[in-house]
Amino acid sequence: MQPLSDERHKALLPVGGATILGRIVDSLRAAGVADIVVVTGYRADELRTFLAEHYPGLPVRFVHNARYAETNNIVSLSLALDAMPLDRDVLLIECDLLFDPQLIRRLVAAPAGNVALVDHYRAGMDGTVVAVDSGVITHVFPPHLQGPDFSYTDKFKTLNIYRFDAGFCRTTLQPLLSCYANLIDGNCYYELVLGMLVNMQRQRIAAEIVDGRLWAEVDDPNDLAVARFRFEPERRADVLDRTLGGHWNFDLLDFAFMRNGYFPTDAMLAAMRQALPDTLRSYGSTQAVLNEKLGYVLHVDPARLQVLHGASQAYPLLRDEFAGRHLLVPAPTFGEYQRMFPDAETYADAPGLDLDAIERAADRVDLVVFVNPNSPTGTTVSTAWLHGFAARHPRLPVLVDESFVDFSGEEPLLRRLEREPLANVLVLTSLSKSLGVPGLRLGFLYACNPAVVQALGARLPIWNLSGPAEFFLELLLKYRTDLEASIARTIADRARFAADLRRLPIVREVVEGGGNFLLVRLNGSDAGLGARLRAALLAQFAIDVKDVSARLPHLGPCLRIAVRLPQENARLTAALEALAASGDLA
């Protein structure tokens, strides 16, 4: 926990206006548990002082593990049980946990016997996991038994909250812990002893599955950030706006970022898992080889490609290339264009473009940018018109960002350019949206002009993709049919999702454009409605949407909502309906 624990015990770190230890004690008291033993080690006096000041009169007993620096929790638990009469059942709670107080009530009310709270395993968890069958733990797997081929798909994570039968503690657990801690290995986890008993079928421990109930374990500063996201719901928007990603850490249904929900396939993910050790240990190939591999996938000349570590890699290159020139870009659009070209002239996407006005402006600018389809409006221009525009203005550089084109029904411009090349066109594409892998950072630049391609390539690093990203490019050749099917399913889902949203009283209009997202106008004139609705969705349902009201002020409050899988779209629709009916948005 350093540096956070340099001046404060981690159990005293604040989360949501209370300390971790304070939350645990409050939960115990609310469940009627008043006989509390606290095992101390690091900064012991600090814990004693906190409990004395905040819980005066509470009968707390302290057991100190003087060897905390060189032993593990098996010694701490052994010392605690040695100091207790063990005439009643024992609740064991590790002091780096935050949880819904109802979980303690469930554990206290559980039938007599040994019970462990467990949850379905998900990304970001670590520590001991278990297998469960018919409500009973059948195997315990401490970290050292989780090898490279270990599968977590059917496993459960222990919350490190247990109820132990008094007889079991007296006759089995306490003697075994004492023997193992003192004679064999004092630097291991107590779960090792529990695992031996379970794996040898010498003891029955029931599994109380919490089914996603609110809880978090704080082992390091990253865990603390995750815990605050879960337990400080009013701050969730601030957290997400700061991180702009890393969502595997959060229990979040994300409609703000767009990706293909049907791709990659399960078979592709299995192949990625199998290849991960080798690809992590290997450098990626040279840029020329990467361009060849992507050229095979796109059916285009690799000499016209430069593979990118995400389309965002292109923006600094484009900024430097066109610095000081008179640019024309859409407004609103993806924020990087305004950030890279803050002085650019803009043309309005209302939604919808005045193509004649863009045509008239072509003779007085040095670059025209088209984002097709555009975000957040979904406005889509025909590929034929774009190609014709560039052909009519051969001396004008034209940049076309077609990251969403696969969902539009339009032929990608680079396919047209393969047949009818134009030297003044540069195509930029993010592959995250259509391939569903934003974490791999895949994109490309395409141009028919060899000098442009070479100039861009000269500014790229020698190793520009990770091994896993390059391996994914190789996989794509085998799964192109699946990709096409996933795009078609997403387009069909978009239409159904739009129809469901249009039926909500809170929705004024749904603009169904060419991307895998929808522009949703809300009923009401209050410009802050979009922000309040987003905050309420996050706080009450852990669902995120994109508030774009400030970017389209003439339309009133607006959201941009990604198209996800049908069951997820239904969850958002139901949440919007519930919020509108509750009156919480006033």
24-63 per-position pLDDT tens digit? 999 999 999 989 999 999 999 999 999 999 999 898 999 9
Say if CB 41 and CB 258 are below 8 A apart: no
Q: What radius of gyration do the chain's Cα atoms show?
A: 29
337-377 per-position pLDDT tens digit? 989 999 999 999 999 999 999 999 999 999 999 999 999 99
Angle at 441 between CA 440 and CA 445, to 5 degrees: 140
> What pLDDT band is residue 586 in, cutting at 50, 70 and 90?
low
Question: For residues 100 and 556, what is the distance between their CA atoms, to the nearest angstrom?
Answer: 39
Structure tokens at 277: 């050790």
pLDDT for the residue 337: 93
Question: For residues 127 and 218, what is the distance between their CA atoms, to the nearest angstrom?
Answer: 12
User: Is residue 25 classed as helix, strand or coil in its secondary structure?
Assistant: helix
DSSP string, 372-430: SS-TTT-----HHHHHHHHHH-TTS-EEEE-TTGGGTTSPPHHHHHHHS--TTEEEEEE
**Mean predicted confidence (pLDDT) in 261-273:** 95
CATH superfamily of 10-225: Spore Coat Polysaccharide Biosynthesis Protein SpsA; Chain A (3.90.550.10)
Is the N-terminal amide bond of 376 cis, ω within 30° of 0?
yes
Q: In this model, does residue 246 exceed pLDDT 90? A: no
- List of residues 6+ apart from 556 with CB closer than 8 A: 508, 521, 522, 524, 525, 527, 549
466 φ/ψ sector (left φ>0, alpha ψ -120 to 50, else beta): beta
Task: Say how far residue 192 (Cα) sits from the centre of its chain.
Answer: 32
**Shared fold status for 10-225 and 236-260+483-582:** no
Q: In this model, does residue 284 exceed pLDDT 70? A: yes
> What pLDDT band is residue 111 in, cutting at 50, 70 and 90?
confident
Give the start-to-end residue ranges of the domains of the chain: 10-225, 236-260+483-582
Q: In this model, does residue 327 exceed pLDDT 70? A: yes
**Mean predicted confidence (pLDDT) in 499-518:** 96
DSSP string, 333-352: --HHHHHH-TT-EEEE-SSS
Task: Rank 99-108, 204-213, 245-254 by mean pLDDT and report only the highest.
Answer: 99-108
> Letter for the amino acid at 461?
P
pTM: 0.91
Structure tokens at 216: 């978090």
417-447 per-position pLDDT tens digit? 999 999 999 999 999 999 999 999 999 999 9
Say if CB 201 and CB 144 are below 8 A apart: no
Is the N-terminal amide bond of 553 cis, ω within 30° of 0?
no
Strand pairing report for 215-217 and 305-308: unpaired
Question: For residues 294 and 444, what is the distance between their CA atoms, to the nearest angstrom?
Answer: 9
What single DSSP character describes residue 284? P
> What pLDDT band is residue 524 in, cutting at 50, 70 and 90?
confident
Question: What percent of the chain has pLDDT above 90?
Answer: 83
Taking alpha carbons only, the member of 333, 378, 334 closest to residue 562 is: 378
Q: In this model, does residue 202 exceed pLDDT 90? A: no
pLDDT for the residue 34: 82
In 10 A of CB 267, how many CB atoms?
A: 12
pLDDT for the residue 314: 95
Strand pairing report for 60-64 and 156-164: unpaired
Which CATH number is correct for 236-260+483-582, 3.90.1150.10, 3.40.50.410, 3.55.40.20, 2.60.120.460? 3.90.1150.10
